[in-house]
Amino acid sequence: MSSSLLRRRISHSWRPRTRTCKARGLNTHFDPIPEQNPPIKNLEEWTEMQLKRQEQKELIEYFSQFGSTQTRDTAWQPHHSLHRPPTPHSLTLSALLAAGAHLGHSTSLLNPNFIPYAYGARGGVTIIDLDHTVPMLKRATNLVRALAQRGGSVVFVGTRKNFRAAAQKAAERMGPQGFHVGDRWLPGTLTNRLELFGHSIVQTTKIEPDLVVFLNPIENTNAIRECAVHHIPTIGIIDSNVDPRIVMYAIPANDESQRTAELIAGVLSIAGREGADLYKNFQEELDLKRRQSDERLQKRRESFERSREKGLTERLYHESEERL
Amino acid sequence: MNHLLRFRPSVFTACRRSFATQQNFVPPKSLEAIDPSSSHELAKPVTPTFYTGRSSYYESMGALERAVQHSRQMLTTLNIFPLPPFALEALPPLIPVWKSKEKLNSALDTKLSATRYRRMLALLNELNHFRRIAKSAGHDDVGSVIQDILDFFERDDKEEHLKRGRKKPVKFDEYGRSYTLGRRKESSARVWMIASHNPPNDAQRNSPPPTSQILINNVPLNKYFPLPGDRERILAPFKVTGTVGAYNVFTLVRGGGSTGQSGAIAHGIATGLAGHAPDLESILRRAKLTRRDPRMVERKKTNRAKARKGYGWVKR
């Protein structure tokens, strides 16, 4: 794309020797010696700088084919945990381990109710038993999928700066059934809805969601309490210093790791997306059936009208009576 | 089995059965076209940020963040991001003129706190930086797309806002008279100036040097200001620039005393002179004649005889 845009402005014909460059994030800066780079004065110098950088990029791209087979495209990148999470079917214990989901808090802060989910301790830190985490996470994904399949709404609450993107992405995956809270959950969102949203919205909108997923439950105790008051099921990432009973479906894992939160939110939202797609198909089928039944009804009405005009109604009535 | 199907409905009505449940039996086929989830009369919320309680703020922030990411991607593809130091120096200065917090509140229909307003401005400044880079590098299409997004957040009176603080040019009427205002202490002077000497074409070789008149409230200078200090103050702008006798001056001055009035007239004359001959402005500025003297009479304070003077110490 860049080469085509640049070609519009250069006078001489210049064809790139290789295929379009995909290399990004490299230091495509120009000459490292600052004295040899005077400040840019006019448009030609800008174009010159752009072309020089493009040349460098393409040079690196050309020689990459002779280098390592482990390139940026083939290796795992940090942004993959957000944009390419594992599906519920392909979730493994090693993926959770790689994300650091097994690292709990200090042993002195261990909540006694968490002991069943603790594997042990090492270096003064509680290690979470991922053999419990995996089936509990799978159960949570089944819940989200079934809920979404029946048209339920899911709210992803991730109030730390690191978790904001994960919550937003998870909500996006679920389409119209997904919502997110990236900053503070305002106390009274559910219990003081009239004041928060106003009369008109409360009367026309379904305020209560069908499920709330907490990526950091200990920082959202207000929200958990409100959900409990309104009997809304909750899923939460429970760390070793948290009582697992505060949420309905606990997922024992590290709540401080961004990668873990992205993985869990991703897995849940992919299951939610599957359910949402099923719900959408179901809605479309319903619409089709409704339209067909409406058409049939319309046809029967029209034929009845026509027959009435011809005076056949009386005869049909008598015939039906005879049949009875 | 077939004879059962030929049973008349009258037979069914005769032996009506009673069931334990109160509700009548409804065949499941008739419920096929009914959606169980649509039994709620209420609609689901529309925006994904509904549960934040500040939907429109988070929606606009989300849109701005997406715009920032998209612009950064485009500029990186065009090889103009990130920029090296020598290119950054070549960029024109950024003078952002964003809407105030109150105006943004009404535009977005929310109540912004100081922190949220600052966060929004940070994103807007980043977008503005990308727009600047795109425009400087000649990619006007990219720059105009970013400008369309930023137009919503910019002040309505952007040009006027940028012009404030800049000195307005001195206006001349059809006869070539300048009209300026001068102030000092409690006095204000309205000064009209016009060139007194004849144009060079008509000047004769041995003509006497040009003379001019200075009238203050229709009274000549020597009559209005008997003190030499006041007269010197008024003539200072002419003396410093070497234009004594070149301009006729008519002033109307009000307020204050002799020092204030003479200072106000001098200030007006200096501004008018800078208007007539812009080359002389730097000379007048270096001589500190174009600056409105900000010194005003300090107020008297309680427990003091005057502004600064204290009462005498008394032993008892």
Taking CB atoms and an 8 Å limit, are A205 and B43 in contact across chains?
yes
Within-domain flag for A294: no
Q: State the pTM of this model.
A: 0.72
A50 CB-near residues (< 8 Å, 6+ apart): A2, A6, B78, B79, B80, B137
Taking CB atoms and an 8 Å limit, are A186 and B50 in contact across chains?
no
Write down the mean pLDDT value for chain B. 89
Q: What is the pLDDT of residue A307?
A: 85
Taking CB atoms and an 8 Å limit, are A196 and B35 in contact across chains?
no
Contacts of B86 in chain A (CB under 8 A): 34, 37-40
Q: How many CB pairs under 8 A join A and B?
A: 115
Note whether B188 and B264 are within 8 A (CB). yes
Q: Average pLDDT in the A15-19 region? A: 41
Q: Average pLDDT in the B261-282 region? A: 96
Choose, out of B11, B79, B119, B136, the residue to mutate when testing the contact with A (most A CBs < 10 Å): B79
Taking CB atoms and an 8 Å limit, are A57 and B79 in contact across chains?
yes
Sketch out chain B's domains with CATH numbers.
Answer: 49-163 (no CATH), 171-197+209-286 (3.30.230.10)
In this model, does residue A10 exceed pLDDT 50?
no
Taking CB atoms and an 8 Å limit, are A179 and B48 in contact across chains?
yes
Q: What is the pLDDT of residue B37?
A: 61
In this model, does residue B186 exceed pLDDT 70?
yes
Note whether B36 and A279 are within 8 A (CB). no
Q: Average pLDDT in the A210-219 region? A: 97
Which of B10, B40, B86 is closest, CB to CB, to A34?
B86
Within-domain flag for A323: no
Confidence of residue A310 (pLDDT cuts 50, 70, 90): confident
Q: What is the pLDDT of residue B239?
A: 95
Confidence of residue A255 (pLDDT cuts 50, 70, 90): very high
SS3 state at B232: helix
Within-domain flag for A55: no
Q: Average pLDDT in the A100-124 region? A: 97
Q: Within an 8 Å CB–CB cutoff, is residue B58 touching chain A? A: yes
Taking CB atoms and an 8 Å limit, are A46 and B50 in contact across chains?
no
Q: Is the model more confident about A305 or about B40?
A: A305
Q: What is the pLDDT of residue A318?
A: 79
In this model, does residue A277 exceed pLDDT 70?
yes
Within-domain flag for A172: yes
Within-domain flag for A136: yes
- 3-class secondary structure per residue, A295-315: HHHHHHHHHHHHHHHHCCHHH
* Cis, peptide link before residue B82, omega less than 30° from 0: yes
Contacts of B82 in chain A (CB under 8 A): 29
Rounded CA gap, B10 and B12, in Å?
5
Taking CB atoms and an 8 Å limit, are B52 and A186 in contact across chains?
yes
In this model, does residue A152 exceed pLDDT 90?
yes
Contacts of B49 in chain A (CB under 8 A): 179-182
Taking CB atoms and an 8 Å limit, are A41 and B77 in contact across chains?
no
Which of B43, B78, B90 is closest, CB to CB, to A5?
B78
Taking CB atoms and an 8 Å limit, are B80 and A46 in contact across chains?
yes
Contacts of B110 in chain A (CB under 8 A): none
| Boundaries of domain holding A226 | 80-279
Contacts of A40 in chain B (CB under 8 A): 86-87, 89-90
Confidence of residue A41 (pLDDT cuts 50, 70, 90): confident
In this model, does residue B17 exceed pLDDT 60?
yes
Q: What is the pLDDT of residue B13?
A: 56
Choose, out of A195, A206, A324, the residue to mutate when testing the contact with B (most B CBs < 10 Å): A206
User: Taking CA B161 as the corner, what is the angle to CA B157 and CA B163, rounded to the nearest 5 degrees?
Assistant: 125
Rounded CA gap, B97 and B87, in Å?
24
Within-domain flag for A213: yes
Which of A155, A290, A324 is closest, CB to CB, to B51?
A155
The CATH number of the domain where A87 resides is what? 3.40.50.10490
Contacts of B46 in chain A (CB under 8 A): 176
**What string of DSSP letters covers A147-163?**
HHHTT--EEEE--STTT
Q: What is the pLDDT of residue A18?
A: 40
In this model, does residue B308 exceed pLDDT 70?
yes
The token pair at A7 is 């070609």
In this model, does residue A75 exceed pLDDT 70?
yes
Q: What is the pLDDT of residues B279-297, one digit of tens each?
A: 999 999 999 999 999 999 9
Contacts of B32 in chain A (CB under 8 A): 289
In this model, does residue A302 exceed pLDDT 70?
yes
In this model, does residue B51 exceed pLDDT 90?
yes
| CA proximity to A240, closest of A110, A102, A123 | A110
Q: What is the pLDDT of residues B136-169, one digit of tens each?
A: 999 999 999 999 999 999 998 888 888 887 778 8
Neighbours of A46 (CB within 10 A): 21
Q: Average pLDDT in the B34-49 region? A: 80
Q: What is the pLDDT of residue A4?
A: 53
Q: Is the model more confident about A2 or about B233?
A: B233
Q: What is the pLDDT of residue A63?
A: 93
Q: What is the pLDDT of residue B160?
A: 83
Within-domain flag for A258: yes
Name the β-bridge partners of A155.
A179, A212
Q: What is the pLDDT of residue B211?
A: 83
In this model, does residue B20 exceed pLDDT 80?
no
The token pair at A215 is 């990526």
Q: Which residue of A has its CA nearest to B91?
A: A40
In this model, does residue B35 exceed pLDDT 90?
no
Rounded CA gap, A188 and A206, in Å?
16
Which of A1, A34, A179 is closest, CB to CB, to B51?
A179
In this model, does residue A174 exceed pLDDT 60?
yes
Share above pLDDT 70 across residues of chain B, in percent, rounded to a whole number = 89
3-state DSSP helix/strand/coil percent for chain A, to nearest 5? 55, 10, 35
Split into its structural domains, chain A has a count of: 1
Rounded CA gap, A223 and A190, in Å?
8
Taking CB atoms and an 8 Å limit, are B35 and A40 in contact across chains?
no
Contacts of A47 in chain B (CB under 8 A): 137-138
User: What separation in angstroms does the CA of A208 have from each of A216, A218, A226?
Assistant: 20, 21, 10
Q: Which residue of B has its CA nearest to A183?
A: B52
Share above pLDDT 90 across residues of chain A, in percent, rounded to a whole number = 75
Share above pLDDT 70 across residues of chain A, in percent, rounded to a whole number = 89
Q: How far is B116 from chain A (nearest CA, A)?
A: 11
Q: What is the pLDDT of residue B210?
A: 74
Q: What is the pLDDT of residue A30?
A: 52
Within-domain flag for A38: no
Q: Average pLDDT in the B193-211 region? A: 70
In this model, does residue B135 exceed pLDDT 60?
yes
